[in-house]
């Protein structure tokens, strides 16, 4: 398992708020402290990969109403031993959206977050060290399909329409996405 790629990405990542700064520090410490940090068998926590997916013209973003968590989140999931978190994020994007044509817009990290996942079906509560990437659904004719992990899957154009209990980091990622649309970093031209 090669973790230097993730370490390099995290070290070069510039957090946008105090919470992200704290989460970056936690992630680097966790990466150094646990040889098996990419395995879900590490019961205290593990790395996960997620994505902020925009539609073909960059006007909307895709979220899932997560069956287990019960609120709207970015798509993503467990690394299951894979230390290439960008690859994990892309795999999860395909699996959870049903879309075949998704492109990674940047190898740079888009957002990060450390959050406690509650106990579920006998699996104790544990932390997810979630690394997120910006992606685009490139085929305007392709339709999304709800996976077994979701109660719903939808394109949104405004974060204000989401319930207030939606994912903690959604407003921050929305703000970053708006910055990208207005010529900011991350998105390939």
Residue 186 is predicted with a pLDDT of: 53
Q: How confident is the model at residue 181 (pLDDT cuts 50, 70, 90)?
A: confident
Q: How confident is the model at residue 68 (pLDDT cuts 50, 70, 90)?
A: confident
What DSSP line would sit under the chain, residue for residue?
Answer: ---HHHHHHHHH---SSHHHHHHHHHHHHHHHH-TTTT-TT-TTEEEEEEEEEE-TTSS-EEEEEETTT-SEE-EEEE-TT---HHHHHHHHHHHHH--S-EEE--SS--EEEEEEEPPBTTBPPEEEEEEEEEEEE--TT------TTEEEEEEES-GGGS-TTS-TTHHHHHHHHHHHHTT-SS---
pLDDT by residue (tens digit) across 106-145?
999 999 999 999 888 888 999 999 999 999 999 999 999 9
55 pLDDT above the threshold of 90: yes
Task: Provide the sign of the torsion angle of the four alpha carbons 25, 29, 31, 34, taken in this order.
Answer: negative
User: Which pTM was predicted?
Assistant: 0.92
38 pLDDT above the threshold of 70: yes
CATH class of 4-181: alpha beta
Q: How confident is the model at residue 44 (pLDDT cuts 50, 70, 90)?
A: very high
Domain ranges of the chain: 4-181
Tokens read off for 147: 């996976």
Rounded mean pLDDT, 19-38: 97
Rounded mean pLDDT, 163-171: 77
187 pLDDT above the threshold of 60: no
Residue 1 is predicted with a pLDDT of: 42
For the chain, give the mean pLDDT.
Answer: 91
Q: Residues in the chain, how many?
A: 189
């Amino acid at each position: 398992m090669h973790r230097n790629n993730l370490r390099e990405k995290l070290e070069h990542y510039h957090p946008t708020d105090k919470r992200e700064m704290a989460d970056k520090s936690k992630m680097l410490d966790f990466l150094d402290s646990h040889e098996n940090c990419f395995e879900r068998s590490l019961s205290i926590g593990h790395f996960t990969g997620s994505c902020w997916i925009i539609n073909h013209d960059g006007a909307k973003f895709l979220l899932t109403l997560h069956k287990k968590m019960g609120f709207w989140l970015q798509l993503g999931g467990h690394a299951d031993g894979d230390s290439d978190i960008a690859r994990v994020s892309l795999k999860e994007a395909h699996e959870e959206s049903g879309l075949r044509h998704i492109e990674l817009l940047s190898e740079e990290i888009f957002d990060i977050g450390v959050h406690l996942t509650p106990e579920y079906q006998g699996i104790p509560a544990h932390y997810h060290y979630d690394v997120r990437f910006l992606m685009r659904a490139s085929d305007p004719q392709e339709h999304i399909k709800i996976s077994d992990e979701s109660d719903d899957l939808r394109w949104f154009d405004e974060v204000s329409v989401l319930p207030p209990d939606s994912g903690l980091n959604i407003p921050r990622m929305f703000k970053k996405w708006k910055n990208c649309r207005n010529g900011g970093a991350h998105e390939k031209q």
